A and B are shown apart, each in its own frame.
Chain A
Amino acid sequence: MEKSLNDKNLTRRGFLKLSALGTAALWVSPEDVVALHKRGRRAVSHPLPAASVETVVFNRLGFGPRPGDLQEFHRLGPTSRIRLEKYSEFQLHPSSIDDSACESKLAALNLSTLKKPLRQLWNDHFVVPAAMRAEQDKLPQPSPLPSLAPKAAPKPDPSRDLTLEPVRQTEIATWMRIIYSRRQLQEVLADFWHNHFNVFGWDTQISPVFVHYDRDVIRTHMMGNFRELLEAVATSPAMLFYLDNFVNQSGNPNENYARELFELHTLGAENYLGTRDRNLAPGYASGQPIGYVDGDVYEASRCFTGWRVESGSSTANTGEFAYFEPWHDRFQKIVLGRSLKEYQPPMKDGRDVLDLLAAHPGTARFLARKICRRLVCDDPPASLVAQVASVFHEERKSPDQLRRVVRTVILSPEFASSWGTKLKRPIEAAASMIRATEAEFVPSEGFFNQQGRAGQRLFQWHSPDGYPDTHGRWTSTTSFVERWRFCNLLVNNQIPGVKADLAGKTPSGLRNAASVVQFLSDRLLGYSMEPRSLLRITSFLGDDWPDSPVAVPGYLRSRVPATAALILMSPEFQRK
């Protein structure tokens, strides 16, 4: 964590002193400010205002505060601890929160795929791509293959729209909830688990079943039990397609799923011991190896042979999960030091692997660190990780294990005391800007494309590791410039479907540039901006401002959006 967390040089009180000078402070010469800045520069990190628990809560357990959120939070109780406890309990039980406003906005969009059961999604939206069919026809067929049998004649363009409809509608619904839902933690966790169990949603096999993946797999289990979530993912058509397990069969198994199951879903690369002999893994002798080797991946891939999707060939064509006995490797396997007997009952081999992984202390540590990385800071302290891991491990049989884990993180001292060391990723930056400005929002292709340019369009990360979650991966020039450009597009209403009215929301009675900027920064950020930045931005608004005590409405109208954009572009606004 950075030193700036403890840096009390320029607290809110310090700023009040400065601003007590009123407009006079406005006209401090830029050279003075630079000199002041340079003096402070070498001592410690850039001073930032010490942010409140409220700010932490709304930026890290949600997609940024809306005006009024912080005040509402404040009314929850007399101390910040009580407020935090109450707020997190509400958020950890999302159905306890009235979300009818968001739901009715969503209902108005008529997203017809969201309620379809899996079979219907498959039936209505899966169209065999012509290229895949051609490839199948040409190649020799030495063994039974997964069916990619045609169920409808391939029509090039309309069928592509039909195929992509479920993922498109999930993207729209997700953005509507990010912007409007009061169940903000639910959206943060959905995003976390979608990335943890990442699939590329725009694939022609995955898109048709993506609604099921989002609704019945990720969202159904994300506050429940990890072992159950793991099996829901393992048997989901989306993951079976994505990591090729739908074609995994005995003889020469496909290890794609098994490898990522170990490396990304459970133990993590931190517990990967490479290609060495498995009995050389420390702890192997006592039946508890500390990590996994390639041999475990190969054996596990045998365990998942026959876990496939019912897609027509030698099975029904429902799009649902099916265990296909003829493809299963029935012989003995050894995984993580345990011997799995030959001829186990259906699915028992795979379930044993999931049991072993979900109960391994290495999985608890890996998941704990990853959740802390999302909710607290990029490099969470070992003590916090250990505490959260022990809850993860001890509660592994609890039906609400994951809720307990998240609660532990939120109520840890590190959660509330770590402000601002994380960078909002493009999704969080855009969402928090829309929420802070109270812009009207209807998702549009133009908006989504902008997200793609910034590098983070939902469900479009190709590889199985999910979008990166540390600041170092989001500070590229393109990503930053697109983030800034988004601010200007937003305040000037240049994003299709998004409409902000900042001039209209600025009280016309404000009498000078400083008070307008103060108003905007308090409203948009939710806390007082770092004073020197505030002065700079004030100078933007005040430059051509006649030194008059009376606000000029036309001038305001023309310059408030660009001023607000600067606040949205500021370093403060990028932190969480």
Chain B
Amino acid sequence: MARELTRGDFLKAGAKMALACAGAAVVKTSFSTLAFGAVGSVPEILVVIFLRGGCDGLSFVPPISGDDRGFYEEARPTLKIPTTGDRKAIPLDGVFGLHPALSPLYEHFQDRKLAIVHAAGLTSDSRSHFDAQAYMELGTPDNKGTTTGWIARHLISSGDSPRSKGSFPAVSVGPYEPLSFLSFGDAVSLGQPGDLNIGGPPRFQARQRAILEQIYSGPSWLHQAGSEALSAIDKMDKLNGGNFRPSSKEYPKSELGNRLKVLAQLIQMPLGLKVAALDMGGWDTHRYQGNGSEGRLASLMDQLAQGISTFYADLSASPGSITKRLTIVVMSEFGRRVKENANRGTDHGHGNIMLVLGDSVNGGRVFGHWDGLMTQSLYDRADLPVTTDYRQVLSEILVRRFKNQKLAFVFPGLGAYHPLGIVQGTEGGLKPFLNQAH
């Protein structure tokens, strides 16, 4: 029972309809332009939250009715998210529900700020975490040898020098930089921005830094890494005067909560931040993942939903309503097997959900193309197929929100551009491919 999840969306319609919808989008954009300044002068911000380990999309957004509910319950005798009782899935559109632990996100769905894309993901034929993460973050499925990440290529092609002078266009919070930043020299990873100094007696610090700058000037990767770290220290000093004030908002006590709290503050500082990447681990639920508002998966979802929700509230209350120009994307390397295993867990799968949240999102809908859960419709007869390439979702955000049309550079080999209508904005001069086969 194939269906378009975005009934009435322009993809399904012909070109005429498409024009009409595009017109509507233009109107919305000019509205936001009037109220909040032109896109471009006030920079858009993208936050990518990567769920490491392969999150179980069928628990995030399970089918709640029809034949697929039957297939789902059959495949998930102990893990199914119930449709009745106090731990039931929250109905989204009559077809799909939202895991009860994600209830903090439901109000964003109701406010039409949260969109869900189902059966999305990486088209590569791999159930390896590490390959799949690398393919996704490099933005080149089936090629791990790419030397630049997709976020790096996006920033470079939208005019950011990989060595910007006075800003932090790309930031990750935590000790590691994601592969999506690869080769963008000015990307920084920050634990606590206040820690961005080399320590030691204050009377020597400036002089030590000056010497380091000299001895790290050189073309090798090592010299570059050092001078990038030094320029990050300098910039943070200049922008912040060394005074980092953490957000006063109470965040949930979790690693993600802590990271989002730091990020909220970074976004409100004049750092020129454009893209942020955060990781959240623990999603590889091969056993005891739980089935409702309790269990391991529910507790992870709770951290995720509480974290994002707090972050969103924090930023929408901020001066200038930052959420007006913020888009949050939640993604993972793959979904999990439709059929549960004997340990009340799930093994590595394929298609998955993506979440897109922001004031400029056409939320309140489940996007994508759904082929159903009949065995014949499944990828390798076992997993949800990928019917929406995750790069299409990201491309649409880049084109419509960031005005970056250089998709062939950001996602080489992607082919035609297929916007689903998830975010507001126009295609500029870019011609979307409208004759979707389905």
Give the residues in chain A near B128, CB-CB below 8 Å. Answer: 259, 263, 269, 272
Within 443-495 of A, Cβ neighbours of B (below 8 Å) are at 453-455, 462-463, 465, 471-473, 475-482, 484-485, 487-489, 491-492, 494
Q: Say yes or no: B53 contacts A536, CB within 8 Å.
A: no
Contact for B218 among A463, A487, A571, CB less than 8 A: A571
Q: How far is the CA of A462 from the CA of B53 in the complex (A)?
A: 10
- Residues 29-81 (chain B) with a chain A CB within 8 angstroms: 52-53, 77-78
Q: Does B199 contact A (CB under 8 A)?
A: yes
With a cutoff of 8 Å between Cβ atoms, the chain A residues found around residue B214 in the complex are 30, 33, 533, 536
User: Using an 8 Å CB-CB cutoff, how does the interface string of B171-187 with A read, 1 for contact, 0 for none?
Assistant: 01011110000100000
Q: Chain A residues with Cβ under 8 A from B172's Cβ?
A: 476
Binary contact readout A226-268 vs B (1 if CB under 8 angstroms, 0 otherwise) = 0000000000000000011001110111111001000100000
In the complex, the answer to whether A46 meets B188 with C-beta atoms within 8 Å is no
Are B232 and A477 neighbours in the complex by a CB distance under 8 Å?
yes
User: In this assembly, does B244 line the interface, its C-beta being within 8 Å of a C-beta of chain A?
Assistant: no
Binary contact readout B115-138 vs A (1 if CB under 8 angstroms, 0 otherwise): 000000000011111110000000
CB neighbours of B130 from chain A (8 A): 263, 269, 463, 465
Q: Does B295 contact A (CB under 8 A)?
A: yes
Asked if A116 lies at the interface with its beta carbon under 8 angstroms from chain B, I say no
B233 engages A479 (CB within 8 Å): no
Per the bound structure, the CA–CA distance linking A52 and B307 in Å amounts to 52
CB neighbours of A325 from chain B (8 A):
none
Q: Which residues of A contact B217 (CB under 8 A)?
A: 37
A272 touching B342 by the CB < 8 A rule? no
Name which residue of chain B comes closest to A492, CB basis.
Answer: B200
Q: Which residue of A lies closest to B224 (CB)?
A: A475
CB of A309, distance to nearest CB on chain B (Å):
14
Q: Which residue of chain A lies nearest to B342 when distances are taken between CB atoms in the complex?
A: A252
A254 adjacent to B175 (CB under 8 Å): no
* B196 / chain A contacts, CB cutoff of 8 Å: 477, 481
Candidates A275, A476, A566, A571; contact of B177 at CB < 8 Å: A476
A470 to B: closest C-beta gap in Å = 11
The reply to whether A272 and B126 contact each other, CB–CB distance below 8 Å, is: yes
**Number of A residues, CB within 8 Å of B:** 76
List CB contacts (< 8 Å) of A192-217 with chain B: none
How far is A138 from B288 in the complex, measured between Cα atoms in Å?
12
CA distance A463 to B54 in the complex (A): 12
Please tell me which one of the listed residues B200, B201, B207, B344 contacts residue A543 in the complex, with CB atoms under 8 A apart.
B207
With beta carbons under 8 angstroms apart, the residue of A255, A477, A570 that contacts B190 is A477
Instruction: Specify the main secondary structure of chain B where it touches its partner.
Output: loop
Asked if B200 contacts A478 (CB within 8 A), the reply is no
Which of A33, A247, A275 is within 8 Å of B127, CB to CB?
Answer: A275
Given contacts A2-B220, A275-B125, contact A255 B347 (CB under 8 A): yes
Instruction: Verify if A156 is at the interface (C-beta below 8 Å from B).
Output: no
Interchain CA distance A276-B288 in the complex, whole Å: 29
Given the contacts A462-B281, A476-B176, A571-B215, A254 and B229 also touching, CB distance less than 8 Å: no
Would B212 and A484 count as touching, CB distance under 8 A? yes
CA distance A252 to B287 in the complex (A): 12
Q: Which residues of A contact B282 (CB under 8 A)?
A: 462
In the bound assembly, the distance between CA atoms of A130 and B131 in angstroms comes to 36
Interface residues as binary, A17-60 with B (CB distance below 8 Å gives 1, 0 otherwise):
00000000000001001000100011001100000000000000
**Contact indicator A575/B222 (Cβ below 8 Å):** yes
Which of chain B's residues 216-257 have a Cβ closer than 8 Å to chain A?
216-226, 228-229, 232-233
Residues of B within 8 A of A492 (CB): 200-201
B198 close to chain A: CB less than 8 A: yes
Chain A residues near B368 (CB-CB < 8 A)? none
Which A-chain residue is minimally distant from B215 (CB atoms)?
A: A533
Smallest CB separation, A322 vs chain B (Å): 17
- Provide the residues of chain A in CB contact with B52, threshold 8 Å: 463
Q: Which residue of B has the minimal Cβ distance to A275?
A: B380
Is the pair A471, B176 in contact by a Cβ cutoff of 8 Å?
Answer: no
> B294 contacts which chain A residues (CB < 8 A)?
135, 138
Q: Say yes or no: is B88 at the interface (Cβ < 8 Å to chain A).
A: no
CB <8 Å contact, A574 and B222: yes
- Among A139-147, A175-183, A335-343, A408-416, the stretch that binds chain B is A139-147
Residues of chain B with a CB closer than 8 A to A494's CB: 199
How far is it, in angstroms, between the C-alpha of A441 and the C-alpha of B188 when the chains are bound?
Answer: 32
CA distance A505 to B184 in the complex (A): 42
Cβ of A479 and Cβ of B212 under 8 Å apart?
no
Given A294-B127, A455-B175, A537-B215, A481-B204 contact (CB < 8 Å): no
23 contacts across the A-B interface (CB closer than 8 A): A30-B214, A41-B219, A46-B218, A135-B290, A138-B294, A255-B348, A297-B127, A423-B222, A455-B175, A463-B129, A472-B182, A475-B221, A479-B189, A481-B196, A536-B211, A536-B214, A536-B215, A562-B204, A566-B215, A569-B208, A571-B215, A571-B223, A575-B222
**What 10 A-B pairs have minimum CB-CB distances, sorted nearest first?**
A488-B200, A455-B175, A475-B225, A46-B218, A274-B125, A480-B229, A477-B188, A252-B342, A485-B199, A488-B199
Binding site for A on B (CB under 8 A): 52-53, 77-78, 125-131, 172, 174-177, 182, 188-191, 195-201, 204, 207-208, 211-212, 214-226, 228-229, 232-233, 281-282, 284, 286-288, 290, 294-296, 339-345, 347-348, 379-380
Residue numbers of A with Cβ under 8 A of B are 2, 4, 30, 33, 37, 41-42, 45-46, 135, 138-140, 142-143, 243-244, 247-249, 251-256, 259, 263, 269, 272, 274-276, 294, 297, 423, 453-455, 462-463, 465, 471-473, 475-482, 484-485, 487-489, 491-492, 494, 532-533, 536-537, 539-540, 543, 562, 565-566, 569-571, 574-575
Q: A254-B287, A488-B199 are in contact. List 16 more A-B contacts (CB 8 A).
A: A41-B218, A263-B128, A272-B128, A455-B175, A475-B221, A475-B224, A479-B189, A480-B226, A482-B175, A482-B195, A484-B198, A484-B199, A494-B199, A565-B208, A566-B208, A571-B223
